[in-house]
């Protein structure tokens, strides 16, 4: 495939997930930055492209002219279909259903509900006096989500989607990139220590980070997601895994989806 996709993205946002998929699959692509802090997602130009006013959005590549694809799970499914032999999207019915189960939960319950309850309370109430209560409630929901995910991963599987069949290994899927991103949000913004709360996610996250985020060309230059992203996820994974400490808050994060 020679025609390049264009991914509209913002550092720290869910656009990281399809960016990781593009990189992992080796699909030709360019990035178009949407400056969320400056409100670019609300400009007439961007809204003409994506009336939702969010990132990610995908155009070009094998998409028909004029087609714009949005929503992280949908974009990931389409991209994985371009290289089905890569195995990033499972074909076994149960494994595919488990992947969709993860993506629906992470994009719907975690990302669209519990996280903005903490990070974007204005979506839930225009009254700033409510924000402290909303933030406290968000922490309860996020702790419950974290406990559920940790329990699911505590059986020793290498990746989020479990093995299907006695001889089938657990394999990397877009759900692992989503988990890696969302745990970065939790530990950077909330300061929740990695090892105390999520040893299993630490293991899965490092497995997901290794083959995709640190890719380099023959000259040693970074060519993967980190070459064009301010997420610094490789540093995040390495530091938290080696020290067990929370990262300092850096002001970045998914304040806008």
Could you tell me if 168 and 113 lie in one domain?
Answer: yes
Closest CA to 56 of 37, 67, 43, 69: 69
Q: Identify the domain boundary among 18, 53, 86.
A: 86
Specify whether the backbone of 70 is left (phi greater than 0), alpha (psi in -120 to 50) or beta.
Answer: beta
* Backbone angles phi and psi of 33, in degrees to 5: -70, 135
User: Residue 155: which domain range?
Assistant: 93-243
Look up the CATH number of the domain holding residue 33.
Answer: 3.40.30.10
Three-state SS letters, 41-67: HHCHHHHHHCCCCCCCEEEECCCCCCC
First to last CA, the chain: 30
Could you tell me if 121 and 43 lie in one domain?
Answer: no
pLDDT of 256 reads 37
Could you tell me if 80 and 103 lie in one domain?
Answer: no
Structurally, how many domains does the chain consist of? 2
Distance CA 20, CA 181 (A): 10
Look up the CATH number of the domain holding residue 101.
Answer: 1.20.1050.10
Distance CA 81, CA 78 (A): 5
Residues of the chain with pLDDT under 50: 1, 215-257
pLDDT of 224 reads 45
Q: Identify the domain boundary among 58, 86, 114.
A: 86
Exposure b/e, 80-92, CB count within 10 A at least 16 = b: beebeeeebbbee
Q: Identify the domain boundary among 68, 86, 104.
A: 86
Helix and strand tally (H, E) in the chain?
10, 4
């Amino acid at each position: 495939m020679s025609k390049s996709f264009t991914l509209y993205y913002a550092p720290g946002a869910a656009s990281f997930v399809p960016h990781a998929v593009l990189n992992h699959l080796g699909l030709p692509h360019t990035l178009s930055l949407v400056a969320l802090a400056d409100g670019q997602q609300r400009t007439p130009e961007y809204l003409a492209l994506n009336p939702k006013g969010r990132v990610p959005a995908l155009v070009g590549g094998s998409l028909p002219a004029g087609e714009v694809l949005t929503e992280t799970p949908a974009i990931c499914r389409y991209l994985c279909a371009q290289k089905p032999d890569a195995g990033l999207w499972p074909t076994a019915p149960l494994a595919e259903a488990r992947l969709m189960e993860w993506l629906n939960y992470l994009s719907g319950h975690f990302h669209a509900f519990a996280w903005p309850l903490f990070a974007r309370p204005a979506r839930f109430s225009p009254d700033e006096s409510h924000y402290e209560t909303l933030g406290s409630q968000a922490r309860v929901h996020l702790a419950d989500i974290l406990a559920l995910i940790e329990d699911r991963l505590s059986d020793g599987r290498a990746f989020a989607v479990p093995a299907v069949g006695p001889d089938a290994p657990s394999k990397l899927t877009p759900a692992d990139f989503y988990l890696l991103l969302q745990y970065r949000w939790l530990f950077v913004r909330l300061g929740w220590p990695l090892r105390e709360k999520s040893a299993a996610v630490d293991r899965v996250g490092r497995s997901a980070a290794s083959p995709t985020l640190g890719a380099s060309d023959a000259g040693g230059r970074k060519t993967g997601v980190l070459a064009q992203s301010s997420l610094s996820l490789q540093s995040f994974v390495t530091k938290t895994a080696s020290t067990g400490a929370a990262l300092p808050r850096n002001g970045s994060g998914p304040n806008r989806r």
